[in-house]
Amino acid sequence: MVLDVDADLIARHGAVSEEVARAMAAGARKISGADYGAVSEEVARAMAAGARKISGADYAIATTGIAGPTGGSAEKPVGTVWIAVATPAHTIAICKQCGNDRGQIIERAGAFALSLLRDELNGE
């Protein structure tokens, strides 16, 4: 499971090509300005849709969140994660509070992401 949007890290571990990883990161930066912030529905949707488009995959998952231990705010506390799944028909996004321990947050976000993908594959 990919745990970071760092393009070099993703490419090294073979989860997606370096080109796709860089496009995901660039797409998120392109829309994440003052209007939305990096941890937002818009960024998660853009990352998933961009990964799907550039990779040629039928489905793509993206997450963006605050895994801590610092970086949270009253509006977006540590543990806030936006998860998106891009499908051939649409892109869906959900926000989850995944706890307050970094490892727990990463693990739960991954499980929520795979569950959302499963639901989409099952037409739910």
Please enumerate in sequence order all residues whose Cβ is within 8 A of that of 103, keeping only pairs 6 or more positions apart, or say none: none
* pLDDT at residue 38, rounded to an integer: 79
Exposure of 111 in the CB half-sphere (CA atoms within 13 A): 10
* pLDDT at residue 52, rounded to an integer: 86
* pLDDT at residue 31, rounded to an integer: 61
Please enumerate in sequence order all residues whose Cβ is within 8 A of that of 28, keeping only pairs 6 or more positions apart, or say none: 5, 38, 43, 46, 47, 64
In tens digits, the chain (124 residues) has pLDDT values of: 444 444 444 444 444 555 555 566 655 556 644 567 778 898 889 888 888 888 888 999 988 899 988 989 999 999 999 999 999 999 999 999 999 999 999 999 999 999 999 999 999 8
Q: State the pTM of this model.
A: 0.79
Q: Give CA–CA dist 14/109, Å, rounded.
A: 20
89, 27 in Cβ contact below 8 A? no
Q: Give CA–CA dist 88/5, Å, rounded.
A: 23
Phi, psi of 113 (to 5 degrees): -65, -45
